[in-house]
């Protein structure tokens, strides 16, 4: 009987211990649940405060912001103000100085060269003997002809010979004198002995060059013009010529000669600009640069070529008729001092937010309406074009045209260029 009582008591004790443990677990869960409810309530209140702050701020901004109206967007464009100007176009060219006359020096008869009286680059005066052959035979012939002429002159005076014989003697003397002259090379004008090609003691024939004579009181600047620029060149056009030897000096001349043929290999046309050279500064063979004035016109209307629009065989420009309108612009500007706003409080601290002042100002924007206008063009370069008809001074046209504008399209003038670059 005692054994049964002890067993039941043991069971009851274990049951009691289990209930105590359940009670502790429930109590722990109770406190956890209570803490969660408190945190949730706090978060709900905080979220409400944040929403009220945000919606209040949005409402104030919407009240202060201007009403937005939808209208046609004005494309920004760059404009050019039309002015009359002196239009001048030049063609750059590179060439070489040539003598006004470059003569190949040759003897008229064969013989051994006895003397060359000048060195390369020396000045030669008109009538100077530049070079001579050995003249012994020519002098003997001249002496013999002179004696025969004298003898026949006396015989003719006493009537011993007729006039024909006398005339024959004169011709033989002139022929001998001419043969002597052929052994000399004379300078036909003032100039320079350019290049010496043979030396004394050499045997020369009428086909051999012994040197080159150059006249330099006047010289030519010779240039080669490429095929596409040939239509721009004409006789009489002014040219400024520059050489590296005299960097601060220019030489003025004019186009004097234009070759009638195009060079086969280079496809260029040779032209010559005549230059005065009394000081002798320009030497044949010098490398030169030139600016040839291909076109000049006073008081011309000239516009950038980027303003043109081509339709079929006609050219157009876009004229802008300006009108000043007011364009609203919203600016956001912080105040000088920050204001502390009461509201959200986290862990005992107040969050400071800067007070924003929204200010609406009005900016004057230059707007305009587009007019597509046909123009008549004159002289054209790569960057500039002369307008002969269709534009007036002080009108505005769109430059750097990349798209087509419709008539009366609205544009915003971002920049106005008033001078040609």
Write out pLDDT tens, residues 76-102.
889 999 999 999 999 999 999 988 888
Q: Is the pLDDT of residue 329 over 60?
A: no
This prediction has a pTM of 0.56
Q: Is the pLDDT of residue 313 over 50?
A: yes
What is the pLDDT confidence band of residue 338, given thresholds at 50, 70 and 90? Answer: very low
Q: Is the pLDDT of residue 12 over 90?
A: no
Stretch 190-204: mean pLDDT:
89
Q: Which two tokens stand for residue 234?
A: 């004409």
Stretch 204-217: mean pLDDT:
90
Q: Which two tokens stand for residue 123?
A: 């000045």
Stretch 232-256: mean pLDDT:
93
| CATH, range 75-87+300-417 | 2.40.420.20
- Please tell me the distance from the alpha carbon of residue 92 to that of residue 79, in angstroms, as a whole number: 30
Proportion of the chain above pLDDT 90, given as a percent: 38
Torsion of CA 9, 11, 17, 18, to 10 degrees: -160
Q: Would you tell me how many other CB atoms lie within 10 Å of the CB of residue 369?
A: 16
120 Ramachandran zone, left/alpha/beta (phi>0; psi -120 to 50): beta
Please tell me the predicted confidence (pLDDT) of residue 356.
Answer: 41
Q: Would you tell me how many other CB atoms lie within 10 Å of the CB of residue 401?
A: 18
Rounded (10°) angle between helices 163-181 and 136-157: 160
Please tell me the predicted confidence (pLDDT) of residue 44.
Answer: 57
Report residue 242: phi and psi, to 5°: -130, 140
Stretch 342-350: mean pLDDT:
44
Q: Which two tokens stand for residue 3?
A: 């054994």
Q: Which of 155, 164, 270 has the alpha carbon at shortest distance from 220?
A: 270
Report CA Rg, the chain: 53
What is the pLDDT confidence band of residue 11, given thresholds at 50, 70 and 90? Answer: low
C-alpha 151 chain-centroid distance: 82
Per-residue burial over 322-334, b if 16 or more Cβ lie within 10 Å, else e, is eeeeeeeeeeeee
Q: Which of 346, 418, 421, 350 has the alpha carbon at shortest distance from 384?
A: 421
Stretch 263-291: mean pLDDT:
90
């Amino acid at each position: 009987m005692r054994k049964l009582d002890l067993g039941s008591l043991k069971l009851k004790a274990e049951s009691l211990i289990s209930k105590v443990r359940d009670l502790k677990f429930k109590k722990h869960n109770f406190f956890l649940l209570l803490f969660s409810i408190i945190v949730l309530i706090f978060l709900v209140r905080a979220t409400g405060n944040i929403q009220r702050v945000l919606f209040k701020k949005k409402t104030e901004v919407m009240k202060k912001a201007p009403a937005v109206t939808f209208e046609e967007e004005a494309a920004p464009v760059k404009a050019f103000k039309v002015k009359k100007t002196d239009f001048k176009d030049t063609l750059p060219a590179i060439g070489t100085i040539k003598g006004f006359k470059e003569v190949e020096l040759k003897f008229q008869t064969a013989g051994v060269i006895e003397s060359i009286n000048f060195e390369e680059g020396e000045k030669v005066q008109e009538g100077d003997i530049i070079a001579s052959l050995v003249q012994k035979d020519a002098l003997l012939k001249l002496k013999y002809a002179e004696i025969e002429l004298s003898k026949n002159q006396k015989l003719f005076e006493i009537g011993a010979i007729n006039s024909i014989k006398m005339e024959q003697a004169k011709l033989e003397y002139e022929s001998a004198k001419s043969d002597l002259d052929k052994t000399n090379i004379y300078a036909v004008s003032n100039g320079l002995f350019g290049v010496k090609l043979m030396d004394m003691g050499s045997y020369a024939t009428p086909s051999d060059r012994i040197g080159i004579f150059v006249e330099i009181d006047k010289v030519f600047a010779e240039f080669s013009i490429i095929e596409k620029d040939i239509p721009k060149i004409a006789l009489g056009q002014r040219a400024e010529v520059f050489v590296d030897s005299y960097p601060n000096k220019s030489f003025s001349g004019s186009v004097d000669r234009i070759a009638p043929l195009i060079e086969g290999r280079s496809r260029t046309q040779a032209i010559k600009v005549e230059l005065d050279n009394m000081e002798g500064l320009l030497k044949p063979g010098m490398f030169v640069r030139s600016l040839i004035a291909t076109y000049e016109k006073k008081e011309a209307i000239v516009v950038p070529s980027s303003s043109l629009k081509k339709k079929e065989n006609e050219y157009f420009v876009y004229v802008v008729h300006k009108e000043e309108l007011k364009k609203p612009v919203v600016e956001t500007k912080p105040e000088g001092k920050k204001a502390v706003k009461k509201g959200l409080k986290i862990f005992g601290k107040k969050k400071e937010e800067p007070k924003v002042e929204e200010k609406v100002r009005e900016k004057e924007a230059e707007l305009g309406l587009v007019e597509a206008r046909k123009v008549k063009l004159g002289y054209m370069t790569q960057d500039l074009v002369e307008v002969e008809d269709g534009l007036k001074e002080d009108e505005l046209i769109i430059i750097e045209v990349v798209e087509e504008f419709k008539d009366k399209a609205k544009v915003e003038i971002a920049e106005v260029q008033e001078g040609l670059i």
